[in-house]
């Protein structure tokens, strides 16, 4: 027996709509301060995202990434982007990840056991990190 609780009931959040049509490329944040969409776009272009599928696989397989590991992986994604890669296999120690480079999104992740005798398809590049 379980009771469903909606998060919105516990932590009501008030948001204001984001207006992206403004010519000066700014919008108003909740506190009324203008926030540059150029800065937001730059910040998002440096962040590594994980798809729901990748998060699930990482949890199932006990894959945990430390901040220094993420930094190296993000640098690898930057390198792949500079070479025009679209979908890249990134191997870091005993972890393999398929990353959609333009969106900077990890699509799936495998640990050392799943990498053995595995065929990786629909990639256009591979990066092996130490």
Domain spans of the chain?
10-43, 48-129
Distances in Å between the Cα of 49 and the Cα atoms of 16, 46, 54 are 24, 10, 10
Query: For the segment 78-107, what is each residue's pLDDT rounded down to a tens digit?
Result: 999 999 999 999 999 999 999 999 999 999
**Neighbouring-strand partners of residue 58:** none
Residue 106 to residue 20: CA distance in whole angstroms: 27
- Contacts (Cβ under 8 Å, ≥6 apart) of 49: 103, 104, 105, 106
Distance CA 94, CA 119 (A): 16
Residue of higher predicted confidence among 127 and 47: 127
Alpha carbon distance 65, 94 (integer Å): 11
Which parts of 27-93 fold into alpha helices (H)? 37-46, 52-61, 67-82
Q: Which two tokens stand for residue 19?
A: 């207006």
The whole-number average pLDDT for the span 52-68 is 93
Position 113 scores a pLDDT of 85
Question: Model's pTM, two decimal places?
Answer: 0.66
């Amino acid at each position: 027996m379980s009771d469903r609780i909606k998060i919105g009931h516990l932590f009501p959040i008030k948001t204001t709509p984001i207006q992206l049509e403004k010519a000066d490329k700014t919008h108003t944040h909740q506190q009324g301060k203008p926030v540059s969409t150029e800065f937001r776009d730059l910040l998002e272009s440096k962040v590594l995202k994980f798809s729901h599928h990748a998060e699930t696989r990482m949890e199932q397989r006990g894959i945990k990434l430390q901040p220094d590991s993420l930094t190296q992986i993000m640098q690898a994604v930057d390198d792949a982007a500079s070479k025009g890669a679209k979908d890249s296999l990134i191997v870091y120690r005993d972890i393999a990840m398929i990353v959609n480079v333009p969106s900077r999104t990890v699509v799936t992740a495998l640990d050392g056991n799943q990498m053995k005798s595995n065929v990786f398809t629909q990639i256009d590049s591979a990066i092996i990190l130490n």
